[in-house]
């Protein structure tokens, strides 16, 4: 098997499993899938799910049924930065539709698509619990709130710069 946690990830895996009583290691499945997704390029190929199943000593189907149930697990490849824009009521009445249309225009992609350079994916999501700071989106582990067109431009530029800086 080629997909495997490195030493640091394995230490994290063990500390996650240690949060639950002995014999109840399946309870660590959700946190471990987060770790796997973060470790293996932002999504969960079948190989990654099978690997998690073997680590937790459960059947692969027990992992598949969980990975397909929860919206945060990506079952196909995504861009380097995933824009998850909230479209539920409170965000909608605060103007999320304009923001979504603007992002589509700026990145030239539709919801669910990834830019050709593999940089950005646009995902429409349901309420993220930031209704007072609407419109908003989640990018990775942080929230970008009070979005305006100018702010969207700045955010896109910021992530492009990040990649340039890394290269």
Partner 1 sequence: MGVKLLLEKANVPGIRTYDVYRREGGYAAAEKALKEMSIEAIVEEVKKSGLRGRGGAGFPAGMKWSFIAKPEGVPRHLVCNADESEPGTFKDRYLMEFLPHLLIEGLLISSYALGSNDTYIYIRGEYAWVATILEDAIVEATKNGWLGKNILGTGFDCMIHVHRGAGAYICGEETALIESLEGKRGNPRIKPPFPAIQGLWMRPTVVNNVETLAAVVPIIKMGGEEYAKIGVGRSTGTKLISACGNINKPGVYEIDMTISVEDFIYSDEYCGGIAGGKKLKACIPGGSSVPILPANLLLKTAKGETRYMNYESLSDGGFATGSMMGSGGFIILDEDQCIVKNTLTLARFYRHESCGQCSPCREGTGWMEKILQKIELGKGESSDIDLLWDIQRKIEGNTICPLGDAAAWPVAAAIRHFRDEFEWHIQNRELSQTSNFGLQHYADPIHVPA
Burial class (CB in 10 A: 0-12, 13-18, 19+), 1: exposed
N-terminal to C-terminal alpha carbon distance within the chain: 29
Minimum CB–partner distance for residue 19 and partner 1 (Å): 4
Q: Which residue's CB is nearer to partner 1, number 61 or number 108?
A: 61
Footprint of partner 1 on this chain (CB under 8 A)? 19-21, 24, 26-31, 33-34, 56, 58, 62, 65-66, 69-73, 87-90, 92-94, 125-134, 138, 141-142
Helix (H) / strand (E) element for 123: namely strand 120-125
**Which residue lies nearer to partner 1 by CB, 94 or 121?**
94
Minimum Å gap between C-beta 153 and partner 1 is 24
- Residue 56 Cβ vs partner 1, minimum distance, rounded to whole Å: 8
The tokens for 137 are 């989106």
Least separation, in Å, of the C-beta of 119 and partner 1?
A: 21
Q: What is the DSSP letter of 144?
A: E
């Amino acid at each position: 098997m080629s997909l495997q946690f490195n030493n640091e990830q394995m230490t994290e895996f063990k500390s996650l499993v240690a949060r639950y009583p002995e014999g109840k290691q399946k309870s660590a499945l959700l946190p471990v899938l987060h770790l796997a997704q973060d470790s293996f390029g932002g999504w969960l190929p079948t190989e990654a799910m099978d690997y998690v199943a073997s680590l937790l000593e459960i059947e692969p189907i027990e992992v598949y049924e969980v990975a397909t149930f929860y919206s945060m697990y990506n079952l196909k490849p995504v861009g380097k930065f995933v824009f998850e824009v909230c479209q539920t009521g409170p965000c909608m009445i605060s103007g999320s539709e304009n923001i979504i249309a603007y992002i589509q225009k700026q990145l030239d992609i539709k919801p669910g698509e990834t830019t050709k350079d593999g940089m950005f994916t646009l995902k429409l999501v349901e309420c993220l619990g930031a209704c007072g700071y609407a419109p908003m989106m989640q990018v990775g582990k942080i929230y970008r709130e009070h979005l305006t067109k100018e702010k969207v431009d700045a955010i896109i530029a910021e992530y492009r710069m990040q990649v340039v800086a890394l290269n």
